[in-house]
Structure 1
Amino acid sequence: MKRNRGLDVASVADAIRLDAVSKVYGTGVGAVSALDDVSVTIPGGSFTAVMGPSGSGKSTFLHCAAGLDRPTTGSVHLGAAAPDLAALSETELTLVRRRHVGFVFQDFNLVPSLTVRQNVTLPLRLAHRRMRRADVTELLARVGLGGRADHLPSQLSGGQQQRAAIARSLITHPDVVFADEPTGALDTASAREILALLRAAVDDYRQTTVMVTHDPVAASWADRVVFLADGRIVDIVAAQPADRIADRMTRLGSWA
């Protein structure tokens, strides 16, 4: 399958860049700072895990990096030459997400009334794009759903539903896939299969992937781990075994 060149972030050093990003919800005495002056770059073609205790800002980080939410201050760029997402209109942001970003969620977010094939190709239809049926069939086979194309989500296991969600995230050949707790609703065997799929997408197709997770085992599949605490990045480490990641998690922010 040919990659859509799009922003072509897999061929540049930085797939994503956050510069001095802060996000504050509310105003006055009730204001809550979810991100506080966060600056980081995500290399193209890499697998990055984002970890931290509850309330550390993990989900806000993902939402701002993916253009789902606007930072209060700072800038977000997909690719070295891409415009600041925070400066785009809602219409422009929608187009960026459709063309350049894929999403995988904890609860799958499949449309119950659509078949696997229809769910997977939904982003193409929303973007008014076409893909050859053979390419869709190839993608479904790659994620292990070759014989399930005409099944409804209710006829699939949790692991199979997440495989369909991963296929849906890849169908547009996005520049970046954002995965929000993709194994959180799965048993350990299914979780391992999903992580192996995400890892293979990075290794075989240079698919830049950013995964928010609370699970040290899941994070151990990544090339590096970004640790957040109290809305700030407190550490970035290269690939680590799960036990070392778990140990680092016990020494973050107020847990330290």
Structure 2
Amino acid sequence: MNGTPSPHPQEVVRLDSVRKIYGGSRHHQVAALDGVSIGLHRGTFTAVMGPSGSGKSTFLHCAAGLDRPTSGSVQLDGVDLSPLKERELTQLRRERIGFIFQAFNLLPALSVLDNVTLPLRLAGRRPKKAAVNEVIERVGLADKRGSRPGELSGGQQQRVAIARALVTQPAVIFGDEPTGALDTYTAREVLTLLREAVQWGGQTIVMVTHDPVAASHADRVLFLADGRIVSHLDRPTADQVAERMTHLGAWGTESAAPAAQPGGWTHR
């Protein structure tokens, strides 16, 4: 699964002219993604925002190899996903991708330790005790190793999910509304953990969110409308993100959208 060497070696995720069409007949087709080209660099934190139906979830699913685009190409960690069979895609996701979901997706019968190490066991890798302990301590759950999810708060459960995503040392972590089920204070703690994973651990994170405060923790915010990237903000504040979202409806048409750079935006 080595694939062809990427012409963009600093980009851990690369989408080129990606379209995703849903619907069978020509008259009932919807373009969830409509020609998206973007490169996301290693060691960066990207938030993806947009109104309902803008294509945020489809963007994440295609970028993570959970869904195949109708046309265009996706490269992840230098591997072109297009020719991979399902088994190869599954292996790549296990080895190179971490996921954090709004609903935590922990196994209730397993302890914190077993939930965290589950991706390693599924990949046939023996967990290294020191590395696992370091990740669990980093997310602040050193005294909860033997607890089950039902004995933890929502914030603690999401910390388990973050540790589970970090433990395989993936090329990229995808977050789907990771703070959506948390109160404001707990959400801030979780976002700080993600920010630290990028800043100190060199992790790459791509997060779909509807929350301007959550997005303000990212290095860059991409704004989608009608399946296209119509704008972006670097080093955003929550107020800037909220203001941009307010005007986003007007950018849903091609004529009103700020011009994208050829080949899509890339990080600095």
Q: What TM-score results when the alignment is normalised by the length of structure 1?
A: 0.93
In structure 2, what is the Cα distance between the partners aligned to 1:131 and 1:115? 15
Match of 1:71 among 69, 72, 80: 69
What's the CA shift string for 1:128-179, capped at 9, x where partnerless?
0012222211111100000001000000000000000000001100000000
Tell me the equivalent position of 1:127. 123
In structure 2, what is the Cα distance between the partners aligned to 1:134 and 1:150? 16
What's the CA shift string for 1:192-219, capped at 9, x where partnerless?
0000000000000110100000000000
- Report deviation, 1:250: 1.1
In structure 2, what is the Cα distance between the partners aligned to 1:12 and 1:222? 22
> Which amino acid counterpart does residue 197 of structure 2 have in structure 1?
A
Q: Does 1:22 align with 2:19?
A: yes
Q: Structure 1 unaligned runs (5+)? A: 1-8
Q: Please identify runs of 4+ aligned residues in structure 1 that moved more than 6 A.
A: none
- What is the 5 A alignment of 1:7-46? 12-28=9-25, 29-46=27-44
Match of 2:206 among 202, 207, 210: 210
Deviates more, 1:204-213 or 1:128-137: 128-137
- Please say if residues 12 and 44 of structure 1, whose CA atoms lie closer than 8 Å, have aligned partners that are also in contact: no
Query: When the two structures are aligned, how many residues end up with a matched partner?
Result: 246
Q: What TM-score results when the alignment is normalised by the length of structure 2?
A: 0.89
- Secondary structure, in 3 states, of the residue corresponding to 1:113? coil
> Which amino acid counterpart does residue 249 of structure 1 have in structure 2?
M
Deviates more, 1:197-206 or 1:86-95: 86-95
RMSD of the TM alignment (CA)?
1.6
Work out the percentage of aligned pairs sharing the same amino acid: 62
- Report deviation, 1:49: 0.4
Match of 1:158 among 154, 157, 161: 154
Tell me the equivalent position of 1:177. 173
- Secondary structure, in 3 states, of the residue corresponding to 2:144? coil
In structure 1, what is the Cα distance between the partners aligned to 2:127 and 2:200? 21
- Report deviation, 1:253: 3.4
Match of 2:98 among 96, 99, 102: 102
- Please say if residues 50 and 225 of structure 2, whose CA atoms lie closer than 8 Å, have aligned partners that are also in contact: yes
In structure 2, what is the Cα distance between the partners aligned to 1:255 and 1:54? 14
- Report deviation, 1:125: 0.6
Q: Structure 2 unaligned runs (5+)? A: 1-5, 253-268
- Secondary structure, in 3 states, of the residue corresponding to 2:242? helix
> Which amino acid counterpart does residue 238 of structure 2 have in structure 1?
A
- Secondary structure, in 3 states, of the residue corresponding to 1:86? coil
> Which amino acid counterpart does residue 14 of structure 1 have in structure 2?
E
